[in-house]
Structure 1
Amino acid sequence: MDLKKNELKMGVVLSYISTGLNMGIQLVYTPIMIHLLGKSEYGLYTLVGSVVSYLSLFSLGFTGAYLRFYARYHVEKDYKGIARLNGMFLLLFSVMSLAALICGMILVQYPRQIFGNKLTMEEIRIAQMLMTILVINIALTFPSGLMDSMISAHEKFLFQKLLSLTGIIFNPMICFPLLLLGYGSVAIVCVTTFITVLKLFVSLWYCLKKLHTHFIFSKLELSVLRQISAFSFFLFLNMIIDQINWSIDKFILGWVSGTGAVAIYGVGAQINSLFLNFSVAISSVFAPRVNRIAAENKKDMNNQFTKLFIKVGRIQFLILALVASGFVVFGQYFVTEIYATQEYVQAYFVAILLIISVMVPLTQNLGIEIQRAVNKQQARSVIYFVMAIINILISIPLARTFGPVGSAIGTAIALIIANGIVMNIYYHKAICINIIDFWKNIFQLFRGMVIPVAFGCFLMIFVEFTNTMSYLFLVVLYTTIYCLSMWFLGMNDEERHLVLQPIERIKKKYR
């Protein structure tokens, strides 16, 4: 049990290290990539990526189903059932991978119909090359995602996160010299695909040799397949909706404004995607525990879920509030002087709108795992479907009038209504999580926000950033004030203990 707890803690720590490193690399690498590619090609690269990402829908939501059904067999110690489950999922994902590949290659033949008339002939030619390579890459992510789920089910987070870290480090290390040599966006997607292949083979080796994963392809239970399909349908619907909400703005802008507007929105969306990673870093590590609690189905299950929901939510908020508030204060200078140029100033407002609108769902990200574990994700699918329709209806006219910022406003309105209001009611009424206690705990953290917010407002009104060194000094100062304020006014004893525990271990080791 202690070994599993250490693996869990190490997984959380490595998740945040991986996320922080990824953010650091992106903050350095993306501005260079934008400069070397140019606004037009970077916008094209972003647009093609958002379109090809729709092929991930061929997974039909089955990736999210694996952990739930594995937990059921594992609790019952039915190892043959696990092997049959593995065989069934491998067959399913192989078919899905092939279907995505075939469909993607067909789409490659119709670039003008997909991207509209705003692209030049040269942009169309590059778009076709990018699409071809990215289609192959996304087809490979299906079996790779299954291996990742198997490793996660065994709670081997150390290997999982180290593999992720390796990919994060090597991608820009290989891409950067190729960009300097003038190979452009095609080189970037080639490197991404190469790393996907390597990660797939390493994960497969780990599953077979270290986890001793077995696959049985005979006597597959159709009744189990029907249960998996019924469970996965609503996960699939969620995937469609997520794709709409996070990709439709770029698609709309590509049609009404061209690659320049897509590039501006893409910078804001890229910053938001780094922000999104902070919440996934911890909730993904707790997914096996959530599924185990659901599989055991004890009397205090809802109480266990509420405690875990509050515990993880508070930690999420502590980190997310620092990043979000810091970006509001320091983001404009960062976007226009460090990350990109003055012509990308709208990307700052795009990023703020997206970041603020996802604060609530990211703080409550563990709720998605809980919904899946108890098979009550259906209502969320319906709520998000309505949200996606609202997003499209609002974003089209706003994009025509206000460009990238208008698209972001449409997405923000839809997200705030669905996540800030409707989903919280659903958590309380249907999932039986004490959402009132949750928000009481979150509001306790707001005491620690008063001093850093006041300091941030002072900086925004009275301080003009003139050079990078003074800017970085104020960023560090703001972070220090935030941490001290939260330590004394916001955090509880358990959270302070989580911070002090590794420090005490290091002290004991070197005494």
Structure 2
Amino acid sequence: MKTNQLKSGAVLSYLNLLIGNIIPFVYTPIMLRLLGQSEYGLYGIAQSIMGYIGLLNFGIGGTIVRYLSKFRSQGDKEQEARIAGLFIKIYSVICGLILVAGFLFSCNIEIYSRSLSGQEVETLRILVILMTINTALFLPFSVFSSVVLAHERYVLNKAVSMISGVAAPLLNLLLLLCGFGSVGLVLSSTALNFVTYGIYTWYAIKKLGIRPDFRKAQPGLLREILKFSTFVFLASMVDVLYWSTDKLIIGWALGAAATAVYNIGASFNTYVTGLSTAISGLLIPRLTNMAVNNVPRSQFTELFIRIGRLQFILVSFIVSAFVAFGRQFIGLWAGAGYGEAYYVALLTMIPVTVPLIQNTGLNILYALNKHQFRSIVYLCIAVLNIVLTFWWVERFGIVGAAMATCVAYVIGNIIIINWYYYAHIGLDVPQFWKNILRMSPVMILMGTIWYFILDWIQTWNWLTFFALAIVYTVLYFILAYFFMMNPYERSIVKAPVQKAVTKAQKIIGYKR
């Protein structure tokens, strides 16, 4: 059953990603035109502020699945229930802190009057208040979604995400058409949270039989959780410093419109991240079990390379396609005024491909409780990112902010962390990179050649764009099949094709 859940979860992950990438393609241009560049920028600034308020989680969220999986692997259902109860109590305290922080932010929002109008400042204040209430209200219920994931119920997890991914933009557009503006986006999120967290809560209690037990947990367990979460908190802080601080600084220095352009460019990085993490996110419980059972490091390396190769096939296609088609896509999709978003996307996307194809390594660090060094390194380079952003945003605008992020990623996520994986975790990083370098020529040649081909074509419309994109996609995966994939990866491709052919032959034979 575990294997079926994992396979089904992986299939649903990519189906979810397919839907999640197709919907924004249609939804985002409509949303941009209904909201307007300025209000979209305000929404981005509010989300960045909430990124900082979300740090009051203190990294606790990153520990839930680990400890639930640990006690589940030991067959200790009572401790599972007590862990769930303990986290709900912790989150209840954090909810109070979030409400206080959100109130303080909203009272001091005038700091943005340097670049925002009075009306824009008031809209930003309302967004922060509503987002704060939304975050605080549903935080304790996130424990139940973690219970579902720890029990490896991937099908339910991905099915709920898929339904939510389809419903969210439809509800957003409905509220936008009714004139609610950016406030409507927050109201939509609140309504969907009621439904999704309600499903997780019902399933965890009724189907899995995990009823939170609020009695005292094992002695010393809270101290252990807080120690573990301290470094998860540092990692979360780094993510906020990378992706939220840039927009806060741009909003303060250049205004809401510039923030909107940067937000569009940075959003492409989110799509690539989702593609990369679809498989590795399902492996956390399994990696935790491997760590508990003290398996040899060679088994971790094998998984690290195998998943990394699969991720690279997808990520390399997306990145090379964006290098070639990105300028034309942004022009057709977002409209006039978003040209700089292409360079923001490239500067944030390309260096991030390395940690994305290696995010199984991050999950291994969490499973082994060896993530402390990574968190400290990331904190240091995040501070460097802030300093460089303040310096370069005044000189180079939003492209300068993206350059700062790029430099920090190269130093921390590529150079230092790969050394740590190799020297202290025992992963065979040289072998990993030998695999990736052998696969890279297809990505480099396709991206470069098609960049100049598309640069030469002057007339652009959606028909031309899709026709060339289809040619590119077919050609890329043909080359990937013969020059990137190993026998195991080819078998993954051939299996469903052979099954479909067999079914077709049976149907044809039956009709005859």
8 Å Cα contact 2:79-2:217 kept in structure 1? no
* 2:496 equivalent in structure 1: 502
Once the two structures are superposed, what CA deviation does each residue of 1:109-150 show, in whole Å capped at 9, x if it has no partner? 22113x342211111221122111111222244224322221
Q: What residue in structure 1 maps to residue 432 of structure 2?
A: 438
1:111 maps to 2:117 = no
Q: Which of 114, 129, 134 is the matching residue for 1:132? A: 129
Q: Deviations over 1:334-361 (max 9, x none)?
A: 11222x1231100111011110120100
Cα distance in 1 between the residues matched to 2:406 and 2:43: 24
Going from structure 1 to structure 2, the CA distance change for 1:14 and 1:190 (only over 3 Å counts) comes to same
Q: What is aligned with 2:188?
A: 191
Distance 1:6 1:477, change over 3 A: same
Q: Give 1:476 deviation, angstroms.
A: 0.8
Residue in structure 1 matched with residue 510 of structure 2 by the alignment: none
Distance 1:296 1:32, change over 3 A: same
1:414 to 408, 413, 421: 408
Do the aligned partners of 2:145 and 2:201 also contact (CA within 8 Å) in 1?
no
Could you tell me whether the CA contact under 8 Å between 1:448 and 1:485 is conserved in 2? yes
Q: Which amino acid aligns with 1:13?
A: V
Q: Which SS does the other structure have where 1:44 is aligned?
A: helix
Q: 2:214 aligns with which of 217, 225, 234?
A: 217
1:272 to 247, 269, 273: 269
Q: Which runs of 5+ in 2 are unaligned?
A: 507-512
Aligned to 1:51: 49
Residue 27 of structure 1: how far off its partner (Å) = 1.6
**Alpha-carbon offset, residue 509 of structure 1:** 4.8
Alignment match, 1:163: 160
Residue number in structure 1 paired with 2:482: 488
Post-superposition Cα deviations, 1:227-252, rounded to whole Å, max 9, x if no partner, equal 11111100001111110111111111
CA–CA distance in structure 2, aligned partners of residues 457 and 219 of structure 1:
61
- In the alignment, the residues of structure 2 paired with residue 159 and residue 100 of structure 1 have an alpha-carbon distance, to the nearest angstrom, of 29
Contact 1:53 1:138 survives alignment (8 Å): no
2:244 counterpart (240, 243, 247): 247
**Relative to structure 2, which stretch is displaced further, 272-281 or 441-450?**
441-450
Contact kept, 8 Å, 1:361 with 1:420, in 2: the verdict is yes
Distance 1:159 1:207 in 2: 11
Matched letter for residue 93 of structure 1: Y
Deviations 1:71-105 (A, max 9, x none): 33223222222222121112112221232123213
1:299-352 deviation digits (Å, cap 9, x = unpaired): x2x1111011101100111001111110111111111222x1231100111011
Contact 1:59/1:142 (8 A) holds in 2: no
**Which residue of structure 1 lines up, in the alignment, with residue 305 of structure 2?**
310
**Is 1:149 paired with 2:139?**
no
Indicate yes or no: 2:315 matched with 1:320. Answer: yes
Counterpart in the other structure of 1:361:
355
Q: 1:388 Cα shift?
A: 0.6
Q: 1:453 to 1:42 in 2, by over 3 A?
A: closer
Does 2:66 align with 1:68? yes
Residue of structure 2 equivalent to 1:231: 228
What is aligned with 1:172? 169
Q: 1:143 touches 1:200 (CA, 8 Å); kept in 2?
A: no
Q: CA deviation at 1:451?
A: 5.2
Preserved contact between residue 324 and residue 448 of structure 2 (Cα < 8 Å):
no
Q: Does 1:206 align with 2:200?
A: no
Equivalent in 6, 13, 21 of residue 11 of structure 2: 13
- In 1: Cα distance, 2:498 partner to 2:140 partner: 42
Q: Is the 8 A contact 1:451 1:485 kept in 2?
A: no
**Is the partner of 2:140 in helix, strand or coil?**
helix
- Deviation of 1:397 after TM superposition, in Å, equals 1.4
Q: 2:445 and 2:127 mapped to 1: Cα distance?
A: 48
* Mapped partners of 2:193, 2:103: distance in 1: 19
Specify the code of the residue in structure 2 equivalent to 1:258.
Answer: G
8 Å Cα contact 1:12-1:285 kept in structure 2: yes
Give the aligned partner of residue 336 of structure 2.
342
Which residue pairs with 1:41 in the alignment? Answer: 39
CA contact (8 A) 1:67 1:291 kept: no
Query: Which string of whole-angstrom CA distances, capped at 9 and with x for unpartnered residues, describes residues 202-244 of structure 1?
Result: 1100111111113222132240111111111000011111101
SS of the residue 1:343 aligns to: coil
> How far does residue 448 in structure 1 lie from its aligned partner after superposition?
3.4
Counterpart position of 1:100: 98
Q: CA deviation at 1:155?
A: 0.5
Is 1:182 aligned with 2:153? Answer: no
1:32 is matched by which residue type in structure 2?
A: I
CA distance, structure 1, for counterparts of residue 39 and residue 380 of structure 2: 34
1:71/1:295 contact within 8 Å kept: no
CA offset at residue 58 of structure 1? Answer: 1.7
Q: Secondary structure at the match of 1:342?
A: coil
- Partner of 2:114, secondary structure, is coil
Q: Is the 8 A contact 2:308 2:357 kept in 1?
A: yes
Q: Which runs of 5+ in 1 are unaligned?
A: none
* 1:379–1:450 Cα change, 3 Å: closer
Q: What is aligned with 1:382?
A: 376
In 2, distance between residues paired with 1:464 and 1:491? Answer: 35
| Aligned equivalents of 1:166, 1:460: Cα separation in 2 | 36
What is the SS of the residue equivalent to 1:216? coil
* 3-state SS, counterpart of residue 350 of structure 2: helix
* Equivalent residues, number: 505
* 8 A contact 1:241–1:388 mirrored in 2: yes
User: Contact 2:332–2:461 (CA<8 Å) still a contact in 1?
Assistant: no
Name the stretch that deviates more: 133-142 or 319-328: 133-142
1:330 aligns with 2:325: yes
Q: Which secondary structure does the structure 2 equivalent of 1:341 belong to?
A: coil
AA aligned to 1:349 is: Y
Q: Secondary structure at the match of 1:345?
A: coil
Following superposition, the deviation at residue 503 of structure 1 comes to 3.0
